[in-house]
């Protein structure tokens, strides 16, 4: 990331003046919430950062000190942190990139700042063989979260500036950083309520993962900008008149959906840009009389708007009565505008708007007025619970963190009406453990909405759940397959460990008592005889099986009298073989090094590169793709860049990403899937197969067509050489009389 280059005195002086002007601009932007005496501490941090980073530059060629200044500016202007946040932002790379140590920072700036810097400093050295650097860094960062959330906020500011300046990096690094951003940091910003930062991170990630798509959508938004502004004005004018007439003090503005959210909707619904109906949203921010009347004012404004425009019944989102887990409060509705297009309207108070834009940082401002931090506190508590599991490696932790804390949520009621929040697809057993670990351990079933269901029953928002327990119930290992939440998994793990420990202690007491009856004491000679006879590898396994009743000790006297020489040889031989096997596997899984491909690999008919197609997404030549080259294999796996598995790889194993360009091929064909529908008529299936097989000479693997009430729907699996051939095929099929729609099915896993 950094390197040194020589400069002449004139250039250095101009550069120095520019650096100091940016720092003064930073100071002026902090004047609202930083005391004059704190300015001394900020200048001290800047001077240390400036001197320690002097002579080093970023890949773009600019002085490195500009990066911490930019991060500090984001921290104060876009997130709203105070002096400690600014100081830590200025110093966040000093320990990692210079000779200064954490102890130096502690001595100069105190324990609190040193603790935050420690959380921001990347791990170096050796890691778990099955883990990854990115995952370990992320885990360490979260370890500090329970002490000070500013670690995460500064890290998000750091990531945002890195994404804003990503042009200077080589393509493989761009893909790695962009993938990591969309997989972890954008959802994390969303979870902390930083919507503006979350949207920008998503857009910038899309820009580098799918540059052509990003540019196309961006151009279409710009082309429609004038027309869209006219539509916003036309839509807003009656609302403005109505609100003013009712003496409501407010601001109203219209904004287009972010590029990423438009693209995401196009992917989810498989529609073109032109069919994304809610391209714009109107936001109304009102000045509340007091916090107690905010909810009533929101609904009053909703009522006034729906007097003018007809609402879409299934698009009301009430996050005032039940705020999101990140504290977000607002009332959303979608109404039919004057030009026949749906428009989303967001209604918020000034306080709600500040929390929506600045997230966690804004909550501190309102602390004590109302319990605004309760949901966020619960979220941080869940992170602590996940971090308490010492057994999971970093990649497992990353998956669980993503699944439990970024997933969509459901609201579940207890029998008494208390509300519990769980990740989507949670089960009755997850709910039991959410109530209390002992309730989960003793659960035998549940009643959901007064109906008896098994423990693996999946819950839905609004369900009322009662857990049925029994004191005789024992933990089952298959329960791991029943649960989704980290809290439940950790509780089951701890319960099984405790049960195993009890069985071992019980088994040890039983064996000691039996040996005492035979006037013997536990010794290595005794264990050498009985371990192979009971087909166990160690004492703990023996004790556990005795304690659980699997092994009976009735024949112990007879076993101890046997000549077990041959069995001992076989037993210890097996142990030696097992040990050798373990060593061999350990050598095979050892990470032999990192790959760093800067130039894209071109794959064509005459390529001598061995590659495999990702079965999860089945890309074809012409798709936007990336490669994954694990050093343990001699081939590259090709995924679509937008494939969820590819995004996960970018985040967790970014060092093994290979930039790939796939040219059109004529020797190999690739599987593609189409979905189509239209008006049914006699012979339409024959016409479709004729166009595919005879006119275009494409090999059909499978065809399925179903008709109902004069409408047909179908799917085609066929082999093509490239995206261009597939698009040509789609064009020709769409010309057949009766065919209304032909689309490529991107979800090959389905």
Question: How do residues 422-469 score in pLDDT, each as one tens digit?
Answer: 888 899 999 999 888 889 988 888 899 888 888 989 998 778 899 988
Task: Quote the pLDDT of residue 44.
Answer: 93
Question: How do residues 557-573 score in pLDDT, each as one tens digit?
Answer: 777 776 544 444 444 44
What CA–CA distance (Å, rounded) separates 655 from 600?
14
Question: Residue 429, Cα to own-chain centre: how many angstroms?
Answer: 24
3-class state of residue 252 by DSSP: strand
With 60 as the cut, is the pLDDT of residue 649 above it?
A: yes
Domains (range + CATH), the chain: 9-208 (1.10.3210.10), 218-369 (3.30.460.10), 375-471 (3.10.20.30), 495-589 (no CATH), 670-744 (3.30.70.260)
Task: Quote the pLDDT of residue 586.
Answer: 38
Task: Quote the pLDDT of residue 743.
Answer: 87
With 60 as the cut, is the pLDDT of residue 34 above it?
A: yes
Radius of gyration of the chain from its Cα atoms, rounded to whole angstroms: 31
Tally the C-alpha atoms within 13 A of residue 657's C-alpha that lie toward its C-beta.
31
pLDDT cut 90: percent of the chain above it:
16
Task: Quote the pLDDT of residue 204.
Answer: 95
96 labelled catalytic: yes
Mean pLDDT is lowest, of 236-250, 484-498, 587-601, for: 587-601
97 labelled catalytic: yes
Task: Quote the pLDDT of residue 750.
Answer: 40
Catalytic residue among 16, 38, 97, 713: 97
Question: How do residues 462-477 score in pLDDT, each as one tens digit?
Answer: 788 999 888 877 777 7
* Entry field: residues in the chain: 750
With 50 as the cut, is the pLDDT of residue 123 above it?
A: no
What CA–CA distance (Å, rounded) separates 738 from 47?
73
More confident residue, 5 or 41: 41
Strands (E) located in 418-464: 419-423, 443-448, 451-453
Question: How do residues 204-217 score in pLDDT, each as one tens digit?
Answer: 999 998 899 999 99
Q: Predicted confidence band at 131 (pLDDT cuts at 50, 70, 90)?
A: very low
The sign one gets for the Cα dihedral 628, 169, 117, 99 is: positive
More confident residue, 485 or 387: 485
Q: Predicted confidence band at 224 (pLDDT cuts at 50, 70, 90)?
A: confident
Contact assessment for residue 157 and residue 192, using Cβ atoms and an 8 Å cutoff: no
Give which of 486, 426, 432 is closest to 459, Cα–Cα.
Answer: 426
More confident residue, 7 or 85: 85
Contact assessment for residue 318 and residue 254, using Cβ atoms and an 8 Å cutoff: no
Residues 6+ apart with CB under 8 A from 132: 394, 395, 652, 653, 654, 655
Residues 6+ apart with CB under 8 A from 541: none
Question: Residue 283, Cα to own-chain centre: how many angstroms?
Answer: 27
Catalytic residue among 11, 17, 24, 96: 96
Contact assessment for residue 336 and residue 231, using Cβ atoms and an 8 Å cutoff: no
pLDDT cut 70: percent of the chain above it:
79
Question: How do residues 678-720 score in pLDDT, each as one tens digit?
Answer: 888 888 888 888 888 776 677 888 888 888 777 888 888 888 8
What CA–CA distance (Å, rounded) separates 507 from 505?
5
CA distances from 750 to 586, 618, 742, 745, 746 (A): 36, 12, 17, 9, 9
């Amino acid at each position: 990331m950094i390197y040194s280059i020589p400069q002449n005195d004139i250039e250095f002086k101009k550069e120095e003046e520019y650096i100091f002007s940016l720092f003064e601009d930073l100071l002026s932007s902090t004047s609202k919430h930083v005391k004059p005496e704190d300015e001394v501490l900020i200048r001290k941090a800047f001077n240390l950062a400036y001197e320690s980073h002097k002579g080093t530059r970023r890949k773009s060629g600019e002085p490195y000190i500009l990066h911490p200044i930019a991060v500090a500016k984001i921290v104060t202007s876009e997130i709203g942190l105070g002096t400690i946040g600014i100081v830590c932002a200025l110093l966040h790379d000093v320990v990692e990139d210079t000779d200064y140590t954490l102890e130096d920072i502690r001595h100069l700036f105190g324990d609190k700042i040193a603790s935050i810097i420690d959380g921001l400093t990347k791990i170096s050295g050796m890691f778990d063989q099955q883990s990854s650097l990115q995952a370990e860094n992320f885990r360490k960062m979260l370890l500090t979260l329970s002490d000070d959330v500013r670690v995460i906020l500064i890290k998000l500011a750091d990531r945002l500036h890195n994404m804003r300046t990503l042009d200077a990096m080589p393509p493989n690094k761009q893909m790695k950083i962009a993938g990591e951003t969309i997989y972890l940091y954008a959802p994390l910003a969303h979870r902390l309520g930083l919507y503006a930062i979350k949207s920008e991170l998503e857009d910038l990630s899309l820009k580098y993962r799918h540059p052509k798509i990003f540019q196309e959508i961006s151009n279409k938004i710009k082309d429609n900008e004038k027309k869209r502004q006219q539509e916003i004005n036309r839509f807003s004018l009656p609302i403005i008149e109505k609100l003013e007439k009712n003496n409501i003090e407010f601001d109203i503005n219209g904004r287009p959906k972010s590029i990423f959210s438009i693209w995401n909707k196009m992917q989810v619904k498989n529609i073109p840009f032109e069919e994304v109906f809610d391209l714009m949203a109107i936001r109304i921010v009102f000045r509340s009389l007091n916090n107690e009347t905010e909810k009533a004012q929101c609904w009053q404004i909703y009522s006034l708007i729906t007097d003018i425009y007809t609402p879409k019944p299934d698009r009301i989102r009430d996050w005032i009565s039940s705020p999101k887990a990140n504290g977000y409060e607002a009332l959303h509705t979608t109404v039919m505008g004057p030009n026949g297009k749906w428009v989303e309207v967001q209604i918020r108070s000034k306080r709600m708007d500040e929390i929506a834009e600045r997230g966690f940082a804004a909550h501190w401002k309102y602390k004590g007025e109302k319990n605004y931090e309760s949901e966020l506190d619960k979220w941080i508590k869940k992170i602590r619970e996940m971090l308490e599991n010492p057994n999971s490696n970093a990649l497992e932790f990353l998956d669980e963190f993503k699944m439990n804390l970024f997933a969509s949520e459901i609201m579940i009621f207890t029998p008494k009406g208390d509300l519990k929040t769980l990740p989507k697809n949670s089960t009755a057993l997850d709910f039991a453990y959410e109530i209390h670990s002992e309730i989960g351990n003793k659960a035998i079933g549940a009643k959901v909405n007064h109906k008896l269901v098994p423990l693996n029953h999946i819950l839905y928002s609004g369900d009322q759940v009662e857990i049925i327990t029994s004191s005789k119930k024992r933990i089952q290992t298959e329960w791991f397959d029943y649960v989704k939440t980290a809290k439940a998994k950790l509780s089951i793990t701890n319960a099984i460990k405790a049960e195993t420990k009890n069985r071992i202690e019980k088994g040890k007491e039983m064996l000691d008592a039996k040996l005492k009856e035979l006037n013997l004491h536990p010794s290595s000679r005794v264990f050498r005889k009985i371990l192979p006879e009971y087909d166990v590898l160690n004492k703990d396994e023996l004790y556990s099986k005795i304690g659980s009743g699997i092994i009976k000790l009735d024949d112990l006297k007879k076993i101890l009298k046997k000549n077990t020489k041959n069995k001992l040889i076989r037993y210890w031989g097996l142990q030696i073989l097992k040990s050798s096997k373990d060593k061999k596997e350990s050598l095979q899984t050892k990470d032999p090094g990192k790959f760093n491909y800067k130039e894209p690999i071109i794959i064509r008919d005459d390529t001598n590169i061995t590659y495999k197609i990702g079965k999860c997404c089945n890309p074809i030549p012409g798709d936007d793709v990336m490669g994954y080259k694990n050093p343990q294999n001699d081939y590259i796996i090709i995924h679509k860049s937008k494939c969820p598995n590819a995004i996960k790889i970018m985040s967790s194993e970014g060092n093994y990403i290979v930039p790939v360009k796939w040219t059109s091929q004529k020797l190999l064909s690739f599987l593609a899937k189409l979905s189509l529908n239209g008006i049914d008529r006699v012979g339409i299936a024959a016409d479709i197969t004729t166009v595919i097989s005879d006119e275009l000479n494409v090999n059909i693997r499978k065809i399925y067509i179903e008709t109902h009430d004069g409408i047909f729907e179908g799917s085609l699996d066929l082999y093509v050489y490239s995206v261009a051939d597939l698009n040509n095929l789609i064009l020709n099929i769409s010309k057949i009389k009766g065919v209304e729609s032909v689309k490529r099915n991107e979800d090959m896993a389905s």
